[in-house]
Structure 1
């Protein structure tokens, strides 16, 4: 993927930087909060290179990229100021007001997204370590175990510090003041007070709870901090507010947490963990079936982030998370369904999508390429995956299986499930989750898509490649009646982004205008093409153009034909929209599969369909 090209195309498609209130990214998606939805060119965004799909959920316009979303996000940061915006920078003047659920999901997504990979990576290390002890490969009394355990446990142990940073960014609070507050939560002498009776603060009784790995207290307190900072900055003299503000906030908010917020959040976390535990104890198969069946639906609507705090609450309270186990069935079921598509389909393009999507799902637990690229568009495979997730998830939870670390559900994360519950039920549940959707997809099947353009019947059809890097638009949109009306032939126009014109197919140069503004090409099968750089640019007399070929020269597809200065031509008052047309319509009366949106030179632009094929068809 050309990250810069994808970034530019997506940003233009959503209406430009000026139409974006905020931008964050999660594991696979760019999440935009848009000011004016009517300015989004949804077709152009979907056509952007590297974009798997788009979705509108949680008050956000979501662009699914896949595993390479951080690189695309970084490129957007280079060409805009959006990367510095917080996800809550929305108001009545910045698009539609979001409901409470959407705002909660957006908050959780923004705060937890930067931490997910570190949580998943260290959680996977912890899972492998636990498996090594369970199977007798490592003695947990050795110093080797102590060191490895520290490496795997440190990040989630000091999770309040990490959350302080991301929450401060979201709520627009001072990050280092947030860290000072979070540091007090996990300070060794404070941690040692957990469970100690008769603790007081200036005579006020304190019920000390554990803040190690906690989530709710630091998020709540940073939210309060953000409001208190803004108040103090308006009231304190400029000479002292920079250091007095953090002093007051630490001195007031930390004791407030110990006295009220901490015990209350501990009660809430314990209640949530207890409620989840009750469901998975009384009706474990039902809890597993629901999570296994609906998890990928939650992913589609971006609602899955709401479960991250619940899992961390479970881990903090009990050291286990029952919510996590059935998610493995949900994820592997969709990966199995897309594998079935790869086996059954006769469509080459679909096979090329299905293979990497299957690997991504099985190994990394990232199912968006499978869902958006294959299963959901085909409908039945997605349904088969849900069926596998329901049955497999129910069996896994019926066996009392739980995770002992936060990991991404995938084949690599399985060791996190080995320490609690029935390994036999885990294996059977996963086997069913994989086999059911795979067999349903292969045997019952789905409607296999027919390629948009059939193979040439007589060998004279011609795939015309894009000669430019830019944006493809219908010829009818060219602001010139001759081209737009098709008087010179049919084709596609391109608004160039780079001033370099390349050969769209192997050809003989039959016309090379000295002015460099237009060039005529002829294919060996007889197709003739005209590429006209800009409109009325012949009036420039060759200024700002540099012709690289001459009449009678043979060129190969991708050879450089002309270089031109877009900025100078535009400054001179000329439109650089470039029609690419077939000029012998009697032999090639129609075109197929015209491109739309961002294109790079060498991409398929359209298919010139020969008269002979039309007659046979």
Structure 2
């Protein structure tokens, strides 16, 4: 077997494939490769090749080289949902290209603004043909191995029972006269409850994505054993079956041909199938996730400043003032960020949201922090005999959230009734005027009162004696992640940071996250099959970077006992965090990256993570038996 050396098709930072935040790519199920964090939106041909696949959405391209190299370049994660908007193809499917030819361009900022990760998996889909694969650019060189190029789809664990020969012979007879893609499509349909169980179907570069009416009809083990299927899992209310570049198109075409043209708007269908709590969580996630990076950066600034000061560094007044600008600005104008994101989510004009948020923290209003300190009194408006306090809402979340939603709905209504000729002037004027009155006199006071009540209740629960609150949250957090409603905690963490400057919730859940990684590590330790063990480890690494979906859906939930052991480990770690009163200076990052938020209490943070990891690992080693 020969070696293969390829130049990165995109300028940017190379990262190991298992750090890509998508379980299908990170696990190596689609082949060996690397992730690329692009610095410019251009894709070049890494060798002389033919364009085998170019998706209509232009987010992915597959090439076959003159020497047999087969590669897939998938720009971003889940960017198929953008329907080609930020992409521009300069070649077409079937074209012949030379090394260095420009194939595609894409708008990095547009992809990020749409809420998608731009990390680009660069895969060698026939990696098993090579002994060693090296991907390099001007600054880096990475070995792109995927279990020594062994095809994961062909792995057979030495811990599984022997196949049912009679059933296999019957299946072979049933599909004897079908092509490969027809056979795979037929077997998939047989094992998902038939075509009548399909509500919606579409595909991306590598996966068949199904929305099903009844999930209980799925025979997951049978689907995993289909020759041609490289994995399956649930994500975002979709049942996703990994088939591979090019082949997924063929299977999709067969499914459509056999079942008819289904509604292919999986995102809308997935949302329609969610429970009310899941819909609320998804909505809150769509609103708060775009502003989290700013708060993460703010938390890191606070952590660095606190660490330096704890080490005895002395700073001038001017330097401290500059550092306070870095750490305080995002929270001082937090309502503007929230109203902007809420307006954008609900179809309003984002700049109107920004202005409304700034009105909530206008310097003419009494500052919320000064009122809390008792140095300033609220303004009072007497309306119908009722004294209504008017204050600034620095660091507040709920008033800005509700005001942003109300403003977007009001703007949409005004656009329907106001003639187009004056819409540009009248609609923004009325939206701002009405919402300013509502925000300062009605929505603000009511929502702020509710916000304080909720915050005090949550804070009291987390600070319960003997670490009870941390034990409960740490034990249940990953169950909530599986249910898909964990985004509701974004608002809670933002409120904790804006009100106290610390995030105790982050300290609790980091133990829950590392515990799932510890449980999966124990599964790999107990697994005798080397191929399986290597695949498991590739899914475990992201858990120690704060991403548990690969280990939860790929390992722990499949065997259940490791998942439960991970919950116990998370509960123990959460209780420890509560007992130590541990809290981070920011949010959004945990486990290894999260150390930057705890530099002033690093030993306590390491202890919490150690307890979660060790408890989950030991329990799993004791309870999990691979032969079961």
TM category, shorter: 0.5 to 0.7
Query: Matches of 2:313 and 2:589 in 1, distance apart?
Result: 24
Counterpart of 2:200 in structure 1 is 39
Counterpart of 1:143 in structure 2 is 318
Residue 447 (str. 1) matches residue 622 (str. 2): no
Counterpart of 1:401 in structure 2 is 582
Structure-to-structure mapping, 1:19-34, within 5 angstroms: none
Residue 371 (str. 1) matches residue 552 (str. 2): yes
Query: Matches of 2:416 and 2:588 in 1, distance apart?
Result: 44
Structure-to-structure mapping, 1:253-402, within 5 angstroms: 253-283=435-465, 285-362=467-544, 364-402=545-583
How far does residue 425 in structure 1 lie from its aligned partner after superposition? 5.7
Counterpart of 2:612 in structure 1 is 433
Query: Matches of 1:123 and 1:9 in 2, distance apart?
Result: 26
Partner of 1:39, secondary structure, is strand
How far does residue 324 in structure 1 lie from its aligned partner after superposition? 2.3
Give aligned pairs, total.
Answer: 408
1:126–1:153 Cα contact (<8 Å) kept? no
1:56–1:301 Cα contact (<8 Å) kept? no
Gaps of 5+ in 1: 18-23, 30-35, 66-86, 450-617
How far does residue 391 in structure 1 lie from its aligned partner after superposition? 1.2
Structure-to-structure mapping, 1:412-431, within 5 angstroms: 412-417=593-598, 426-431=605-610
1:330–1:385 Cα contact (<8 Å) kept? yes
Counterpart of 1:167 in structure 2 is 342
How far does residue 288 in structure 1 lie from its aligned partner after superposition? 0.7
Deviation per CA, 1:376-428, whole angstroms, max 9, x where unpaired? Answer: 223332222111111111122122222332232222213434668xx766554
Note closer, same or farther for the CA distance 1:236–1:9 as it changes in structure 2 (3 Å cut): closer
Give TM-score scaled by structure 1 length.
0.57
Query: Matches of 1:11 and 1:316 in 2, distance apart?
Result: 32
Query: Matches of 2:478 and 2:502 in 1, distance apart?
Result: 22
Note closer, same or farther for the CA distance 1:427–1:165 as it changes in structure 2 (3 Å cut): same
Query: Matches of 1:443 and 1:231 in 2, distance apart?
Result: 61
1:127–1:415 Cα contact (<8 Å) kept? yes
Deviation per CA, 1:52-89, whole angstroms, max 9, x where unpaired? Answer: 864367xx437699xxxxxxxxxxxxxxxxxxxxx999
Note closer, same or farther for the CA distance 1:99–1:389 as it changes in structure 2 (3 Å cut): closer
Deviation per CA, 1:281-334, whole angstroms, max 9, x where unpaired? Answer: 333511111111111111111111111112222223333333222111101111
Of structures 1 and 2, the larger Rg is shown by: 1
Query: Matches of 1:296 and 1:118 in 2, distance apart?
Result: 25
2:422 to 230, 237, 240: 240
2:407 to 225, 231, 237: 225
1:187 to 345, 359, 362: 362
Query: Matches of 2:118 and 2:480 in 1, distance apart?
Result: 14
Partner of 1:310, secondary structure, is helix
Deviation per CA, 1:234-267, whole angstroms, max 9, x where unpaired? Answer: 3333322211211122122113211121122221
Query: Matches of 2:240 and 2:303 in 1, distance apart?
Result: 32
Partner of 1:207, secondary structure, is strand
Gaps of 5+ in 2: 1-24, 26-32, 34-58, 62-71, 85-113, 120-196, 211-223, 243-264
Partner of 2:595, secondary structure, is helix
Deviation per CA, 1:79-122, whole angstroms, max 9, x where unpaired? Answer: xxxxxxxx9995xx998475432321121121122233333333
Query: Matches of 2:326 and 2:239 in 1, distance apart?
Result: 34
Query: Matches of 1:27 and 1:8 in 2, distance apart?
Result: 9
1:337–1:382 Cα contact (<8 Å) kept? yes
Counterpart of 2:283 in structure 1 is 107
Query: Matches of 1:62 and 1:116 in 2, distance apart?
Result: 28
Deviation per CA, 1:542-593, whole angstroms, max 9, x where unpaired? Answer: xxxxxxxxxxxxxxxxxxxxxxxxxxxxxxxxxxxxxxxxxxxxxxxxxxxx
**RMSD after superposition:** 4.2
Counterpart of 1:533 in structure 2 is none
1:221–1:257 Cα contact (<8 Å) kept? yes
2:302 to 102, 126, 130: 126
Query: Matches of 2:467 and 2:455 in 1, distance apart?
Result: 17
Structure-to-structure mapping, 1:493-512, within 5 angstroms: none
Structure-to-structure mapping, 1:465-504, within 5 angstroms: none
Query: Matches of 1:185 and 1:331 in 2, distance apart?
Result: 36
Counterpart of 1:252 in structure 2 is 434
Counterpart of 2:238 in structure 1 is 61
